[in-house]
Structure 1
């Protein structure tokens, strides 16, 4: 044989008169559907796990005689649950009957936008909400007057900025790490399939 299988394969896809073999299309179609289904399942489980955590958190703070703080944190968690649910609604709109390359590209774009959205939310929103939580804790612990008497305005301002910056870093790093651990392999599969399909189309 003058040409290897690899050369024939490569030449075939570089020539415009050749199309991607149906068996290859079917393979990627099935693989992509399985990946999308896995992403849906993982996302739902991840989001629903917030509910029991919120309940446990509320009970914990009630036991610690911090009812208002417990309600506040549980309410934030539930808000995150419904926000996630709204964001995840996109996954139900994916039409797997169309080209797998097309809907994988849409999914990839949605994932990137989601990462940007939650990075900003946790980088900016978490510090503010966490700071309010700290204030509630101080008020419930009857430490408000003690702190005002013990610290100057400058010291309070510096401490507040440090707390906000710390929560911002914790929020961003925590989200990125958890997102990688839970969804990293699925996102990598989606990116790899898109790259492979893109090469086959060229």
Structure 2
């Protein structure tokens, strides 16, 4: 039988869960950008509000780590997981901000592959939000990181096809540069979700 002297402090798990819930809010807002007649400025501003809330959650997490003598699992892993969750939200917010600032939603239509990437991100966000509460028990997490990694591969394929389309001559050079920056942020968000999943796997292995 395995014994542990580590507390099962629910505050850490609550902060992780709230951060992951913000990812779902973020991807849902990105999906709004595909709706006809959407107020792009409003969506971008709401994304920024969610990102600020995530920053505050990360700050609270770091304060909690620094004020807790014994943590539920390794401090380094808590820092890393909190930082990676924050990175995801930073990339999601950047996508919304760039789409608005560059005026890309005024195009007749955004590339299909860009919408596919947002859909992948939405699936990753929901998976992550469902997984975070299970950190407390460290049970039923394997399917999460396997599926999240599969989705990241799907996102990579959509990203590569998006690049092919951007450089096909369909768009003018300036629009290509703008959309390439958005595409890079979308791909970085997919990668960040995978990094979160990999860190959860590392924590689960250590604690098993």
Per the shorter chain, which TM-score range? Answer: 0.3 to 0.5
Of Structure 1 and Structure 2, which has the larger fraction of its residues in helix? 1
- TM-score, normalised on structure 2? 0.43
- TM-score, normalised on structure 1? 0.44
